Chains A and B, each alone.
Chain A
């Protein structure tokens, strides 16, 4: 144990939470300092450590809390760090925070004058180049037992001393199980007992025990989101978190060990590089990346730096352009600005970082960053501009990384992981919904039966059934996709509780977009019992309600069931607070067919659906021109029934050619059925055998 660690050990996040609390409760503190941006404008890890270093030299060391804060304070560009930077603007009474403010001249300028951005970015780049600057020894933290998360909650009780040795034991203990793919190392009783044993508040000085109490009364989770919502009570949350926080600590120990083994020592608790892809790493990612590393890990796995290096000045130039916009009052010309503006305050209103302080009209730093990122993006990619849901994507990213990185991650997400989903015509959403439906048909046949019969109700009376019924649902999507569209648009933000969402994000960046489909199927899988519970026992059409103009609508049973289904699909996911419900119950079950889904399949499937939709549209076009009733037209049901206008015969002038094309397309439509690859993917299989063999050799 290093010197200086002795005086009242407290982990950094505890202090953060303490400060956070006062910021939360004490409304007299006003956030009136422009330097608040210190965190949000950082473009790299280096800058953070540098700042921290400088700041720490200016602290009065009498107060153990401040001195500890100096040492463990700003170590990661992630959530906790962001909280620091928030406080630095908020809490004038905290000496360290005042200090850290003083060392931020570049940002100050940037805040006060938009035109200074170029200069700011230059300065920033300089700092950035000093990235791996070693920090003074006093503050180095390569102790694997250290975890920022540890202190967010109840596990902060045990002394560091104990934990170091304990941590290693735990690592050894878990080592085996983690190499067994299917074994669940986390339900390990012995290890939790071990943790419980050392988790003894008596080891701690009094003041820190007090801290703990304060922590427990916090109403926000470690990212600043309110724990309680319409679906989960704070008690439920706390009870679950008590377990899950322990899980997070254990996972972090394993990560540290893995990094060590891979020759990627963790300085200052911020790994910047991660091991190359492997089955083992995939498993680690699936079990969760440590929260405070997420920013870097996502950035690394999504190859963000590559993107940034290719586009060095792009973001700063966009900000300049943005500044000019305001000057020339061109703003009105850009429709998106208005929509962005209206969404800013509707982005995570339940998160303290996005909230105005009481009695303050000052806009939160987060909101300012969010605006810049979204406006910059809309200038950067005019095909997308701004699409509602991107506010949540950017907002979540901002909790984990700085503004420029957030911008590039947004670029990456909207192009690589969710291609076309946010485009002006939202065609990508429709394609992905089609893909999801095909997946459901393949992997959850029982559920598909229900979706299909509900869907048939909607399209029952359309002619040309024989030719088109096979894939018609890909064009004219079933109503269930109204619920699932948002799953993709916002990558599950707001759909699932935050910790669960983040675990899916971990996997998305590591495994690519097919994981979003896998996760969707997993959600369906675990709510399948609920979904199938109320299904109409016999689908007879004898039970007519007053609504009788259309047979399908008249089946009250079906209607009721549909509504129930929507309700389940909408509310059930919100109750999955434990990410491991999805992972342990579905994703880690190798036997489940849906786990065969891989990126290749999804890429193929997306192409297929895109082509099918195009063909349907062409066909529809031709049929329309030939003057037949189109099965795809929204009007067809209603208009016919209500005596709508009938076709003008003159359209029949269109010649034979069209008819032939129509037949050809028709032919193509009916002959193509998407085939999922069946059986095990050879590559995965080989990899896992290879790893096993490797591991066995090592053991010997």
Chain B
């Protein structure tokens, strides 16, 4: 079994907790309390191709701007990030973009799997005038930034499983490559230790 840490980020009320609940409990609750601080959940999936079992350690976060100062705690050592916006709320994509920038800047892990997720598409299906962010617009941006991208609905469950499947596959690919790499480079631990001592460009006040 492989275990990965996944964090959810995004503006308040875009449906982060609802997506997690759909994924973990396969249920949806119209009236859910807002998340304070962070909530921890876990769920396992099995990859379709190879029956690899993957366990997600999920950190759901509060979305308010000021919680950003706690965020380094959340995404410390994260393997994947689900950055959520609400397709009916124009501001929320902007917020998502700023989260992604923050992630790229602060985590600096090239193997961090980031998935941009547009939630609440069920609303658009009922009434397309409610849609404020076009599929293409977000999709193109995600492509440019090298992110995974999905539109989902926590309410109906549409695409929610797929998101996690895809993330799982991607993470598995990285791990496989890493393993192969390790085979050829037996002294990888030593090199990494040496590298740690090397100076680097940093933003020292950024933490916490």
Q: Do A and B bind each other?
A: yes
A residues at B contact (CB < 8 Å): 335, 339, 342-343, 345-350, 355, 387-389, 391-392, 424-427, 429-430, 458, 461-463, 475-477, 479, 481-483, 485-486, 489-490, 494, 545-551, 553, 556, 559-560, 563, 566-567, 570, 617, 620-621, 623-625, 627-630, 632-648
Question: A345 contacts B31, CB within 8 Å?
Answer: yes
Contacts of B179 in A (CB 8 A): 546, 548
In the complex the two chains form, what is the Cα distance from A635 to B36 in whole Å? 26
Question: A485 contacts B38, CB within 8 Å?
Answer: yes
26 contacts between A and B (CB under 8 A): A343-B12, A346-B13, A349-B33, A387-B64, A462-B196, A476-B207, A482-B37, A482-B40, A482-B70, A482-B74, A483-B40, A486-B38, A546-B2, A551-B189, A559-B3, A559-B57, A560-B3, A563-B3, A620-B204, A624-B204, A630-B204, A632-B207, A635-B200, A636-B196, A641-B109, A648-B201
Question: B36 contacts A629, CB within 8 Å?
Answer: no
B46 within 8 A of A: no
Question: A426 contacts B199, CB within 8 Å?
Answer: no
Residue of B nearest to A571 (CB): B40
B66's contact among A343, A387, A550, A648, by CB below 8 Å, is which?
Answer: A387
Question: B38 contacts A458, CB within 8 Å?
Answer: no
Chain B residues 75 to 99 lying within 8 A of chain A, measured CB to CB, are 75-77
In the complex the two chains form, what is the Cα distance from A635 to B110 in whole Å? 11
B127 within 8 A of A: no
Chain A proximity mask over B111-151: 1 for CB below 8 Å, otherwise 0: 11000000000000000000000000000000000000000
Contacts of A389 in B (CB 8 A): 36-37, 62
In the complex the two chains form, what is the Cα distance from A462 to B59 in whole Å? 24
B residues at A contact (CB < 8 Å): 2-3, 12-13, 31-40, 42, 57, 59, 62-67, 69-70, 72-77, 106-112, 175, 178-179, 182, 188-189, 192-193, 195-208
- Check A617/B205 contact, CB under 8 A, given A342-B13, A629-B199: yes
Contacts of B76 in A (CB 8 A): 458, 479, 634
Contacts of A482 in B (CB 8 A): 37-38, 40, 59, 70, 73-74
Question: A546 contacts B65, CB within 8 Å?
Answer: no
Contacts of B69 in A (CB 8 A): 425-427
The residue in A348, A550, A632 that gathers the most chain B C-beta atoms within 10 A of its C-beta is A632
Question: A567 contacts B42, CB within 8 Å?
Answer: yes
A426's contact among B39, B66, B74, B198, by CB below 8 Å, is which?
Answer: B66
In the complex the two chains form, what is the Cα distance from A285 to B90 in whole Å? 50
**Minimum C-beta distance from A406 to chain B (A):** 19
Question: A645 contacts B201, CB within 8 Å?
Answer: yes
Residue of A nearest to B70 (CB): A426
Question: A640 contacts B70, CB within 8 Å?
Answer: no
A634's contact among B38, B59, B107, by CB below 8 Å, is which?
Answer: B107
Question: A636 contacts B202, CB within 8 Å?
Answer: yes
Contacts of A429 in B (CB 8 A): 70
- Check A638/B72 contact, CB under 8 A, given A339-B64, A630-B202: no
Residue of A nearest to B25 (CB): A230
Question: A647 contacts B201, CB within 8 Å?
Answer: yes
In the complex the two chains form, what is the Cα distance from A629 to B203 in whole Å? 10
Question: B33 contacts A639, CB within 8 Å?
Answer: no
Question: B34 contacts A347, CB within 8 Å?
Answer: yes
Question: B204 contacts A641, CB within 8 Å?
Answer: no
Contacts of B73 in A (CB 8 A): 477, 479, 481-482
Question: B200 contacts A639, CB within 8 Å?
Answer: yes
In the complex the two chains form, what is the Cα distance from A567 to B32 in whole Å? 20
3 tightest A-B CB contacts, nearest first:
A624-B204, A486-B37, A349-B31
In the complex the two chains form, what is the Cα distance from A462 to B197 in whole Å? 8
**Minimum C-beta distance from B19 to chain A (A):** 15
In the complex the two chains form, what is the Cα distance from A648 to B202 in whole Å? 10
Other than the given A627-B199, A629-B202, A632-B207, 11 more pairs (CB < 8 A) read A388-B12, A391-B34, A424-B66, A485-B38, A489-B36, A494-B33, A547-B175, A629-B199, A635-B107, A641-B195, A646-B200
Question: A388 contacts B64, CB within 8 Å?
Answer: yes
Contacts of A387 in B (CB 8 A): 64, 66
Question: B110 contacts A570, CB within 8 Å?
Answer: no
Contacts of B72 in A (CB 8 A): 634
Residue of B nearest to A354 (CB): B31
Question: A458 contacts B178, CB within 8 Å?
Answer: no
In the complex the two chains form, what is the Cα distance from A355 to B33 in whole Å? 12
Question: A642 contacts B202, CB within 8 Å?
Answer: no
Question: B193 contacts A635, CB within 8 Å?
Answer: no
Question: B12 contacts A342, CB within 8 Å?
Answer: yes
A548's contact among B59, B178, B195, by CB below 8 Å, is which?
Answer: B178
Question: A633 contacts B206, CB within 8 Å?
Answer: yes
In the complex the two chains form, what is the Cα distance from A627 to B3 in whole Å? 35
The residue in B57, B178, B199 that gathers the most chain A C-beta atoms within 10 A of its C-beta is B199
The residue in A392, A547, A556, A617 that gathers the most chain B C-beta atoms within 10 A of its C-beta is A547
In the complex the two chains form, what is the Cα distance from A640 to B192 in whole Å? 7
In the complex the two chains form, what is the Cα distance from A636 to B199 in whole Å? 9
Question: B111 contacts A642, CB within 8 Å?
Answer: yes
Question: A430 contacts B208, CB within 8 Å?
Answer: yes
Question: A640 contacts B206, CB within 8 Å?
Answer: no
Contacts of A642 in B (CB 8 A): 108-111
Question: B200 contacts A644, CB within 8 Å?
Answer: yes
In the complex the two chains form, what is the Cα distance from A621 to B204 in whole Å? 6
Contacts of A477 in B (CB 8 A): 73, 208
Question: A629 contacts B66, CB within 8 Å?
Answer: no
A563's contact among B42, B70, B193, by CB below 8 Å, is which?
Answer: B42
Contacts of B192 in A (CB 8 A): 461, 549-550, 640-641
B62's contact among A348, A388, A550, A634, by CB below 8 Å, is which?
Answer: A388
In the complex the two chains form, what is the Cα distance from A347 to B31 in whole Å? 9
Residue of A nearest to B72 (CB): A634
The residue in B73, B206, B208 that gathers the most chain A C-beta atoms within 10 A of its C-beta is B208
Residue of A nearest to B204 (CB): A624
In the complex the two chains form, what is the Cα distance from A625 to B25 in whole Å? 48
Question: A629 contacts B12, CB within 8 Å?
Answer: no
Question: A646 contacts B33, CB within 8 Å?
Answer: no
